[in-house]
Structure 1
Amino acid sequence: MVALEYLHMMGIVYRDLKPENVLVRSDGHISLTDFDLSLKVASCLHPSQHKQKKKSTHRAAVEIITEPMDVRSMSFVGTHEYLAPEIVSGEGHGNAVDWWTLGIFIFEMLYGTTPFKGVDHELTLANIVARALEFPKEAMVSQSAKDLITRLLIKDPTMRMGSTMGAAAIKRHEFFHGINWALLRCIKPPFIPPPIACKDFVAVDSAIESSIEYY
């Protein structure tokens, strides 16, 4: 989510979030890859603060909201199971598609499948536009996780969580309670990949080479 927030701040709509494009670094933190489908637009910072009386000695809390402005793409791009309804329907789309794909991504991480997958691409697209979101009953997933996914997978992009207040609204969700976003990069990830020895790469290369037939 923070990676998407950063891209939006830079005026980039990612449009291709999926497990294949999320890389786990050696320190356990993640990075996004494959920006072929990204859309570069103008960005704008919105300072949001509560009004205060002139005589008050307390400063108003300022929250910076990053949202691409004046963007409306008609391109039909993305992975079928991750496409937002506004892309499928051809109504045009903005950065809210990234929050939809985040919802699909979290759903797949928790349930092992995407919520609108059909027997073929055509049925998948039809499900995305028309079918209501349903959660598998056999999986033990917290109510806060389900609520977060539900809010991210609202079909109307104007009502979708993150569409107006960006990542700031999502960060405040109960699912992320206890996370210090300002020090996120200093937090030790729950999983750190073990180091891979050079001999492992040699073994893989040798196996591939031995399987090739030359003519």
Structure 2
Amino acid sequence: MELGEKIGLDHFTPIRPLGFGDTGSVHLVELKNTGELYAMKAMDKSVMLNRNKVHRACIEREIISLLDHPFLPTLYASFQTPTHVCLITDFFPGGELFALLDKQPMKIFKEETARFYAAEVVVGLEYLHCLGIIYRDLKPENLLLQKDGHIVLSDFDLSFLTSCKPHVLKHPLPTKRRRSRTQPLPTFVAEPTTQSNSFVGTEEYIAPEIIAGTGHSSAIDWWALGILMYEMLYGRTPFRGKNRQKTFANILHKDLTFPSSIPVSLAARKLINALLHKDPTNRLGSNSGANEIKKHPFFQGINWPLIRCQKPPLLDVPLQFIGRERDPKDKDVEWEDELLPSLEVY
């Protein structure tokens, strides 16, 4: 590959499929003659047109191009073929958190493990909100695992890109009667405030305000964090019904309960309860963002500035990596003729 050469499909060798979605598929690919592996998301143009998803694909590409964070993917290249739009991003060999959770005893994580993953999600969401991005699709299937065991938030086709005005809250000084040797530190707040009325999300993770159609903002991501924590600790989501309608009714009206058969700390239950407040204005995180959540007793002991350097906790069933070897169930992987022309990067 020559310097300045435009990247296209013919620069990559297909290795194996990684997954399939609404508008296309994700493949493990190798940049030819380098041994470097990447993930390629190939979105079918005709499907996007038929399902009115072209705008969503453009937003997803724009969002990923903005990201520069250890818990978020990097966009290395994007190009078109006559039939597909392709995004080249990092390949994360640990696969989905959902698959890892599913392999654990009782399909749950120990509290220390759940704390580690939840903390990294908080940091990832904090960064997204600071950029004016409301994630809107937090779930174990969209959390991928890096080789070192840290997580990455992926899949931004439902995300909402708006504006955010980060600001610093200065706390009043203690009165003379209650003098303190240390002044309270200012709080950095960066939460998008724009409301959206789109009906988006994954059924069991959707926040009440989305179902009610009253408009939603970044507080829906903190609701989804509460559902994620519940699922990691209890092995299921809290409001699942026998069908979609019943699930939505439960989300709107059913009280949150915790199974007594699984021992979970009071701090964890209190945090989940605060995140799953049905009124978004009273939900933890809705007023001063991630700072409120970071200060919760459940996260005591987390070194937030150095979380990237923290060693992931040991799992009952260890993380298994996706390799170059093809799964016997995988179909033969070859670029279709109409995919092959290398078109200009857009």
Q: What TM-score comes out, normalization by structure 2 length?
A: 0.56
Query: Which amino acid letter does the alignment assign opposite residue 38 of structure 1?
Result: S
Distance 1:152 1:13 in 2: 16
Choose from 122, 126, 140 the match for 1:19. 140
Map 1:121-200 → 2, pairs under 5 A: 121-191=244-314, 193=319, 197-198=323-324
Q: CA, structure 1 residues 50+193, in 2 after alignment: closer, same or farther (shift >3 Å)? A: same
Cα RMSD after superposing both structures: 2.0
> Matched residue of 1:8: which SS?
helix
Name the residue aligned to 1:65.
Answer: 189
Alignment check: 8 A CA contact 1:25 1:31 kept = yes
Distance 1:207 1:152 in 2: 40
Runs of 4 or more, structure 1, over 6 Å off, are none
Alpha-carbon offset, residue 66 of structure 1: 1.1
Give unpaired runs (5+ residues) of structure 2.
1-121, 175-180, 333-346
Work out which of the two has the higher radius of gyration on C-alpha atoms and give 1 or 2. Answer: 2
Larger strand proportion of the pair: 2
Query: Which amino acid letter does the alignment assign opposite residue 45 of structure 1?
Result: P
The count of aligned residue pairs is: 203
Alignment check: 8 A CA contact 1:50 1:61 kept = yes
Distance 2:233 2:209 in 1: 25
Any idea what the Cα deviations from partners look like across 1:27-68, whole Å, max 9, x if unmatched? 111001110110011101120122349xxx976622211111
Name the residue aligned to 1:2.
Answer: 123
Name the residue aligned to 1:82.
Answer: 205
Name the residue aligned to 2:172.
Answer: 51
Q: CA, structure 1 residues 207+89, in 2 after alignment: closer, same or farther (shift >3 Å)? A: closer
Any idea what the Cα deviations from partners look like across 1:79-127, whole Å, max 9, x if unmatched? 1100100000111100000000000000001111100000000000000
Query: Which amino acid letter does the alignment assign opposite residue 216 of structure 2?
Result: H
Alpha-carbon offset, residue 130 of structure 1: 0.6
Name the residue aligned to 1:213.
Answer: none
Any idea what the Cα deviations from partners look like across 1:149-181, whole Å, max 9, x if unmatched? 000000000000000010000000000001110
Distance 1:58 1:143 in 2: 30
Give unpaired runs (5+ residues) of structure 1.
211-215
> Matched residue of 1:139: which SS?
coil
Identity, % of aligned positions: 50
Distance 1:181 1:7 in 2: 16
> Matched residue of 1:35: which SS?
coil
Q: CA, structure 1 residues 209+61, in 2 after alignment: closer, same or farther (shift >3 Å)? A: closer
> Matched residue of 2:282: which SS?
coil
Alignment check: 8 A CA contact 1:26 1:193 kept = no
Q: What TM-score comes out, normalization by structure 1 length?
A: 0.88
Distance 2:142 2:290 in 1: 20
Query: Which amino acid letter does the alignment assign opposite residue 159 of structure 2?
Result: S
1:96 matched to 2:200? The reply is no
Distance 2:164 2:123 in 1: 16
> Matched residue of 2:228: which SS?
helix
Name the residue aligned to 1:208.
Answer: 330
